[in-house]
Amino acid sequence: AWGRICTDMKSTIGKEAYQSWIDPLSLDRIDQGIAHFAAPTSFIGRWVDRNYGERIRTSFAREGYSVTRLNFSVNPAVQKAAPQPRSAPAAQVAAPQTGDEELPGSPLDPRFTFDSFVVGKPNELAHAAARRVAEGGEVAFNPLVLYGGVGLGKTHLMHAIAWKLQEDNPGFRVLYLSAEQFMYRFVQALRFRDTISFKQMFRSVDVLMVDDVQFIAGKDSTQEEFFHTFNALIDQNKQVIISADRAPGEIDGMEDRIKSRLQWGLVADIHPTDYELRLGILQAKLDTQRAQHPNVTIDPKVIDFLAHRISSNVRVLEGALTRLYAFASLVGRHIDLDMTHECLTDLLRASERKVTIEEIMRKVAEYYHLRMNDLMSARRARVVARPRQVAMYLAKTLTSKSLPEIGRKFGGRDHTTVIHAVKRVEELKQNDSQIADDVELLRRMLEA
């Protein structure tokens, strides 16, 4: 089962990531819902758990194993078999200054740098603010709060800041961690009556970054501790950077004093991506994919199609491209629109905007300079009949409505008329490039 999961992971997360993180692991056993792995370093274990844990658990479930937790033990012998990725040691957060005291940070993703971050209108402000903070110098705004929806680049920007600060200031104590980790550390400190060193450690950093702070909403003692840590650092003029999935004022269950403190500095939101930005991101990711799969070619229409259709979140967008390349290189095919539909059915369905027959009729009428009534009428003149067929075809392919339902909407026509229209348009698309373009354009407008 693990073998199958590995094969699957290789195609979903990409060969490079797979080789860095998953390949070095060996599965020991599954015991009472816990999958025990040996990893060459604890860092790799932590990283896998954090970034791929969820995926691995669901894969096990698909294979019929109930796994609720992953456990990693360090076995350097594993390391000999598969060397640790070059970037891994650097990803340990912040070089500890004194002794071997380690900052309890979450790992930094080596791919999340400023260089790989594509800037557009929606993230312009957040990016500029992140840059400014990363450039160091005097503290410009404190705290910096980045907020925005899932998969829009908050974590990427935070890691980019951390990398840059560490690179420019060796010995600087930069601590990046998720709010979840913060809470985990705090609860551990309480349990082991070690809150003093917890406090000292957090108050001794030069820069503190807490990702996804909404996580501690409703967790009272953690919020309390967070508030004090936060204040102590700001008082010492130490930079604090926070991210959240919504505006600070809108985080339910967050104490008012924290909400208001978060707004003292600069609050920068990341807006949902627009078409331009998605195109830019795809182009950037394309370079990486090309380097990894030099033999795979891609139809530029696919890029345009993805930028139009996958508007939810950048992670999904990237995932789509990765999957296409993995599939294409596996089966040795050119990436075209057909393959895209074939390979991304589930993804596309999930991001599908629900188009109604009325919308289709309205757009088609507008496109051909007709009135909606013409599409429902009995007129058989070509200028009306052809657009009507196109509209029926789009209704069949873009909605899940049945043939009789579609017929009814078009002036009470029979379902066989709809079947005929769909067939006719399919034929025409092959032989008449004008019709093919019309259909393609209409589809785009309806799905945008």
Instruction: Give the interface segment with Mg ion, choosing from 147-155, 254-262, 334-342, 411-419 (CB under 5 A).
Output: 147-155
Measure the CA dihedral 112/116/120/126, to 10°. 30
Q: Which does 281 bind (CB under 5 to 8 A by kind): Mg ion, ligand ADP, none?
A: ligand ADP
**How many other CB atoms are found less than 10 A from the CB of residue 325?**
23
Query: Of 23-31, 224-232, 310-318, 333-341, which segment contacts ligand ADP by CB under 6 A?
Result: 310-318
The one among 41, 123, 311, 389 contacting ligand ADP by CB under 6 A: 123
* Size, binding site for ligand ADP by CB under 6 A: 17
CA 286, CA 292: separation in Å to the nearest integer?
10
Counting contacts by CB under 5 A, is residue 181 touching Mg ion?
no
Q: Could you tell me which of 24, 14, 19, 30 has the C-alpha nearest to residue 67? A: 30
112 scored as a contact of ligand ADP (CB under 6 A): yes
- Tell me if 336 sits within 8 A of 299, measured CB to CB: yes
Cβ nearer to Mg ion, comparing 154 with 388: 154
End-to-end CA distance of the chain: 40
Instruction: Establish whether 411 is an annotated binding residue.
Output: no
Rule CB under 6 A: is residue 395 a binding residue for ligand ADP? no
Which residue, 109 or 206, is less far from ligand ADP as judged by CB? 109
Q: How far is the CB of 81 from ligand ADP (least distance, A)?
A: 28
What sign for the dihedral angle of Cα 149, 144, 166, 271? positive
Q: What residue is closest to ligand ADP based on CB? A: 153
- Which of 39, 19, 37, 41 is CA-nearest to residue 29? 37
Q: Is 151 flagged in the annotation as binding?
A: yes
Rounded to the nearest 5°, which phi and psi values hold at 246? -150, 175
DSSP string, 293-336: -TT--B-HHHHHHHHHH--S-HHHHHHHHHHHHHHHHHHT--B-
- Judged by beta carbon distances under 5 to 8 A according to partner kind, the member of Mg ion, ligand ADP, none in contact with residue 151 is ligand ADP
Per CB under 6 A, which region of 111-119, 220-228, 407-415, 421-429 contacts ligand ADP? 111-119
Q: Is 20 exposed, middle or buried (0-12, 13-18, 19+ CB in 10 A)?
A: buried
Q: According to the binding rule CB under 6 A, does residue 117 interact with ligand ADP?
A: yes
Closest to 126 (Cα-Cα) out of 166, 108, 153, 150: 153
Is residue 303 involved in binding ligand ADP (CB under 6 A)? no
Does residue 156 bind ligand ADP (CB under 6 A)?
A: yes
For the chain, the helix, strand and coil percentages under 3-state DSSP, each to the nearest 5: 60, 10, 30
Alpha carbon distance 381, 261 (integer Å)? 69
**Does 155 sit near Mg ion (CB under 5 A)?**
yes
Tokens 């999930």 sit at which residue?
350
Told to check if 106 binds Mg ion by CB under 5 A, we report no
Q: Kindly state whether residue 123 participates in binding Mg ion, applying the rule CB under 5 A.
A: no
Closest CA to 215 of 263, 189, 177, 188: 177
Give the nearest distance from C-beta 209 to ligand ADP in angstroms: 12
| Residue 118 contact, options ligand ADP, Mg ion, none, Cβ 5-8 Å cut-off depending on partner type | ligand ADP
Under rule CB under 5 A, how many of the chain's residues touch Mg ion?
Answer: 2
Note whether 153 binds ligand ADP by CB under 6 A.
yes
Measured from the CB of residue 211, what is the shortest distance to Mg ion in angstroms? 6
Q: Could you tell me which residues come within 8 angstroms of residue 239 by beta carbon, excluding any fewer than 6 positions away?
A: 133, 139, 142, 143, 144, 206, 207, 208, 233
Q: Does residue 448 bind ligand ADP (CB under 6 A)?
A: no
Residue 148 is assigned to a ligand binding site = no
The site for ligand ADP (CB under 6 A) is made up of: 112, 116-118, 123, 148, 150-156, 281, 314-315, 318
The site for Mg ion (CB under 5 A) is made up of: 154-155
Residues in the annotated binding site for ATP? 151, 153-155
